[in-house]
Structure 1
Amino acid sequence: MGIRGINAKTKRLADGTTKTYYWAWKGGPALPGKPGDSAFMEAYNRAIRQKVRPPAGMLLSVLQGFQASSTWDDLAPRTQRDYVKIIKLIEKKFGDFPLSAMSDRRTRGIFMEWRDERAKASRRQADYGWQVLARILSWAHGRGLVSANPCEKGGRLYRGSRAENVWTDVDEEAFLASAPEHLHLPLILALWTGQRQGDLLRLTWQQYDGKVIRLQQSKTGMRVVIPVGAPLKAALDAKRGKIGPILRNSDGEPWTADGFRSSWRKACAAAGVVGVTFNDLRGTAVTRLAQVEASVPQIATITGHSLRDVNTIIDSHYLNRDPRMAEEAIRKLETRTKIPDRASD
């Protein structure tokens, strides 16, 4: 490449093509375009000017070391982008924090004060920042770079419930009646597979054989084989292709994550579907399977959740307390209960 220190990685995309990504150095900032482009060189030179070797014994060295590790390389690109935003905040607040203080009992309180301050704006984001810092310090502790992880087992501030955040039949019907046709298949796929948005956008025709869908979840590495129900099969077979991603935009091109999210939000607004997101379709799939009395292991086999997570979703987060379930339960109880004969009274 002619430029010292550049870190490059070539990846195969879902459509079979390859793309090379560049960073100023391993763990350094991403660079746009390719070597020789004006934007590329400008970003590279700016990164080099700003690069400062962190003093030994300070948290900044751990933050940079984590981003240069194989653990970082194993993270999904979206996760890396999300982590970078948090790491920048941690650098600004604690970059010069001494590693020798990690075993001091007061350090946990200092980090908790930072979390509490962020919680004034968003408890969810405060928890996420704590989670990122805890993971980095766990990585450092495992390598002997710090003597303790003061963020271990910090609990959560956010206790939001997803009990009402399920797609109802009315939501589904309204969306299908209003949304552009190319957004129908993503909805049906999500409801009948319970998979994450990213995995569905990457799903290719080669992973569907007419009977089942096979995929490896990007977040967990879990491999799932999902039998294709009749409504989903009809929707897939109507668009059956040979290669490349199944889900495509109105131009017939593979979706970008940002493009899909934007189009989905607009379609939901136009259909009057509020209070639920595409991510809620994963929990809705769990709910609907539970409502037809699928067992927890059966649900986990389809969605890729752990047994514990399925139970948690059903019990606390996603299970919409449908009055029909209560009605059916009483009817079942009636069939097992002998009704006293009052005729002789």
Structure 2
Amino acid sequence: MKVRLKGVNRVSVKLANGDRVTYYYAWKGGPRLPGKPGDPEFIAAYNAAVAQKAKQPTGTIQAILNAYQDSPKFNDLAPRTRKDYVNHIRKIETEFGDFPLAALHDRRTRAEFLGWRDRMAVKSRRQADYVFATFAAIMAWAFDRGLTVANPCERPGKLYRASRSDSIWTQADEDALLKVAPPRIRLAYLLAVWTGQRQGDLLRLTWTAYDGSHIRLKQGKTGRRVVIPVAGVLKAALDEAAQDKKAVTILTTTKGTAWTGHGFSATWRKTLAKAQVTGLTFHDLRGTAVTRLAIAGCSEAEIATFTGHSLRDVGAILDAHYLSRDARLAESALSKREAHEAGTKIPK
């Protein structure tokens, strides 16, 4: 007799060698189950997980974590974000799962929570910030719904500070990379620098998204839909690649299969090393695209149509991270001022 187990979460994963495997979890964010549905060990593990979840005490942070993972707020997150949250939640469970909600109003609780973040920061400040930001988001969600009487995680500040102000790809960097990059990496670079899209979205981009003049995609992180006109240099590269399609996706490995995130990142790093390009990442191409559009005289609204940012975010990015360090903008500003004060036409 076939037994139907409620809530089992099925996840299909593509391995680095191209094979696909399926993992099963007792529920979204729950423990992984051994074997396959119907196997005795699978059913036993499922029943044990459900029993453990049922007897978890109320009035603890664990109850808040469970409620959050059953909420639309959690389920509406992008798949990658949800996966990261699950990893962070497991760390929170280990440290504070049995922490009583009644103690949240005690001022010493905030010190306890921040002390935990500081201990994690010894290994990685950035990772400590990520985990604690997840904790803070969940506690804010609970407080907003009246599930807690206080939120000791509110406005914790950040331990990790980094500026990408100097992390813009110059023409010299581009020339060095394209000189040694194989065609599949060259195409990835051109897609990134001419569209300003994220690595994950570009790796998932299919040929059906390209009609010969525009690229249409839905961003995985924000859900925004963008329509991007294709520049001549990018069109030439895409049209050439289209003559030898090997997969549904535009970007592929040497075997003609879709990239995994880890596989692409490894090949990208090797190409950077060969080109002797240092201090730059693939993600920096997104900021580089924004900067180059701004230098070309594009308005923030025009830039936003390319990148999918909100207008406010475009302005913040340009102001805080990139344009303050680009000398060409200062030179352009001086040229315009001199022309204005001389009573001549402002050069374009």
Deviates more, 1:61-70 or 1:170-179: 61-70
CA distance in 1, matches of 2:74, 2:32: 14
Pair 1:168–1:36, CA change in 2 (3 A): farther
**Aligned-pair Cα RMSD in Å:** 3.1
CA distance in 2, matches of 1:270, 1:44: 48
CA distance in 2, matches of 1:123, 1:8: 32
Query: Matched residue of 1:226: which SS?
Result: strand
Q: Where does residue 276 of structure 2 map in the other structure?
A: 272
- Which amino acid in structure 1 is aligned with residue 58 of structure 2? A
Whether contact under 8 Å (1:115, 1:126) holds in the other structure is yes
Give, in angstroms, the shift of residue 252 of structure 1.
0.8
Q: Where does residue 136 of structure 1 map in the other structure?
A: 138
Partner residue of 2:261 out of 257, 261, 265: 257
Partner residue of 2:298 out of 294, 298, 301: 294
Query: Matched residue of 1:215: which SS?
Result: strand
Structure 1 stretches of at least 4 aligned residues deviating more than 6 Å after TM superposition: 10-13
Q: Please, what TM-score do these two structures have when normalized by structure 1?
A: 0.85
Q: Output one character per residue of 1:302-336: Cα deviation in whole Å (capped at 9) or x when no partner.
A: 10112222112111223372333333333333222
CA distance in 2, matches of 1:324, 1:162: 18
Whether 2:325 is the aligned partner of 1:321: answer yes
Query: Matched residue of 2:217: which SS?
Result: strand
Deviates more, 1:50-59 or 1:91-100: 50-59
CA distance in 2, matches of 1:216, 1:251: 27
Q: Where does residue 29 of structure 2 map in the other structure?
A: 27
- Which amino acid in structure 2 is aligned with residue 8 of structure 1? N
Q: Output one character per residue of 1:183-235: Cα deviation in whole Å (capped at 9) or x when no partner.
A: 11111111111111111111111111112111111111111111111111111
Q: Where does residue 305 of structure 1 map in the other structure?
A: 309
Q: Where does residue 342 of structure 1 map in the other structure?
A: none
Deviates more, 1:96-105 or 1:269-278: 96-105
CA distance in 1, matches of 2:319, 2:159: 20
Pair 1:243–1:181, CA change in 2 (3 A): closer
Pair 1:97–1:267, CA change in 2 (3 A): same
What number of residue pairs does the alignment pair up? 334
- Which amino acid in structure 1 is aligned with residue 258 of structure 2? P
- Which amino acid in structure 2 is aligned with residue 101 of structure 1? A
Give, in angstroms, the shift of residue 249 of structure 1.
0.8
Whether contact under 8 Å (2:61, 2:98) holds in the other structure is yes
CA distance in 2, matches of 1:42, 1:251: 39
Q: Where does residue 343 of structure 1 map in the other structure?
A: none
Q: Please, what TM-score do these two structures have when normalized by structure 2?
A: 0.85
Question: 1:67-216 counterparts in 2 under 5 A?
Answer: 67-216=69-218
Deviates more, 1:142-151 or 1:299-308: 142-151
Give, in angstroms, the shift of residue 112 of structure 1.
2.1
Give, in angstroms, the shift of residue 43 of structure 1.
11
Give, in angstroms, the shift of residue 144 of structure 1.
3.0
CA distance in 1, matches of 2:32, 2:309: 33
- Which amino acid in structure 2 is aligned with residue 326 of structure 1? A
Query: Matched residue of 2:9: which SS?
Result: strand
Q: Output one character per residue of 1:25-54: Cα deviation in whole Å (capped at 9) or x when no partner.
A: 34313457743689x949957974994542
Whether contact under 8 Å (1:141, 1:148) holds in the other structure is yes
Structure 1 residue runs of 5 or longer lacking an equivalent are 340-345
Whether contact under 8 Å (1:166, 1:318) holds in the other structure is yes
Query: Matched residue of 1:239: which SS?
Result: helix
CA distance in 2, matches of 1:68, 1:76: 15
